[in-house]
Amino acid sequence: MTGGAGAPPRAPYRAIAHLDLDAFFASVEENVDPSLRDKPVIVGGGERGVVSTCNYIARRFGVHSAMPMRTARRLCPQAVVLPGNHRLYGEYSRRFTKVLQEYSPLMEKVSIDEAYVDLTGTERLLGPVIRTCRAIQRRVQEELDVSVSIGLATNKLVAKVASDFEKPRGFTVVRPGNEAVFLAALPVERLPGVGPVMLAQLRDRGVVTIGDLATVPERLLRLSFGEVGEMLARRARGEDPRQVTPREPVKSISRETTFEEDTTDTALLESTLIRLTEDVCRRLRRQRLEARTVTVKIRYSDFITHTRSHTLRRPLDVDEALFEEVLALFREARQRRYRIRLVGVGLSNLVPRAWQDDLFDQELPLLRDLDLKLDAIREKYGRNAIRRGAAEE
């Protein structure tokens, strides 16, 4: 179905497609075992874990991603629960990427199961943009045996919302000039950037739909929410200047600091390492990644540099868990009595976020929820707006 009324975007308008694989992990599992296709399927952690994803049969019972597994089992006791095969999902994701790259060099992978493709100016080579999107949709279905929903619009924001408009196998086109109209009737929580906390605050102000949000003066949103308020105002109008930017896979994330004076103060050194760990973990979560390997770097006053690394038994992105790793590595690596000039923290061996936290530790989802709340505060008020006590210098 084509939604949002009208023809495909044409020059001078941009033509941005957002493609989102439907119930991706569950769909791959159904390919491996076709007998699952008529059953509710949940992919996720153990009894104390969370749902990574589920098929559309399970969703009819109210199951959804990130739901505690105990709740999902209660809602749908007849579901087939699978632990997941992330190596296989990664292979499917690479095949998906390869298909998209045949249609435009401007392809931006944003997670294991979704991507943007800029099709602006491809009409002469590929024909009408709508026809190209339909061809991509057919190829993904035929070559991966996984359905994909597509949103086509003049910018990334509206294309992303449109791809979720008619799942599964959706195809929604929002023509140029109709962006705000398309968004207006949708619940405000469908707008990227509106999470549970923001949603509660908006509802307290009588904002229910994106159209309601668009009528709120931008200055009031800025007074209430700071720079995030300005962003919300633009998004409610369907405005988004971001370009589709091809990305090289992130291989590592690191931060280091050089002290104004070389030091042997253990409290200062360890609080600095905690602060650096917070920073790299926040960048990790922002890119929906987890790290398998942690590295600590120490440079002494004589410029001799020592590093220590440890590969975890499972990937992580939670501050508290990585604090322990970093501090243990620092204490192991610090074998000289010289003053220390520089310390650094690095995360590598990165993998896409898999939502299987408390398969091993039921506290991880709660710790991550705290981290995400702290991330939101820092995004709004700056990275120094809030710190754990141990990170204070």
Question: Which residues are part of the catalytic machinery?
Answer: 114
Q: Which two tokens stand for residue 192?
A: 């990227």
Task: Return phi, psi of residue 116, to 5°.
Answer: -105, 145
**CA angle 26-27-28, nearest 5°?**
90
Sign of CA dihedral 53, 56, 58, 59: positive
Specify the pairing of strand 305-316 against strand 289-300.
antiparallel
Q: In angstroms, what CA-CA distances link 333 with 252, 260, 292, 295, 306? A: 20, 22, 19, 10, 7
Distance CA 368, CA 366 (A): 5
Contact residues for 106 (Cβ-Cβ < 8 A; gap 6+): 117, 118, 244, 245, 246
Q: In angstroms, what CA-CA distances link 135 with 103, 143, 145, 147, 194? A: 10, 12, 14, 13, 33
Q: In angstroms, what CA-CA distances link 96 with 33, 103, 144, 365? A: 20, 12, 8, 29
Q: In angstroms, what CA-CA distances link 143 with 28, 111, 132, 160? A: 12, 20, 16, 23
Taking the CA of residue 161 as centre, how many other CA atoms within 13 Å lie in the half-sphere pointing to its CB? 31
Distance CA 98, CA 362 (A): 37
Q: Which two tokens stand for residue 108?
A: 């931006």
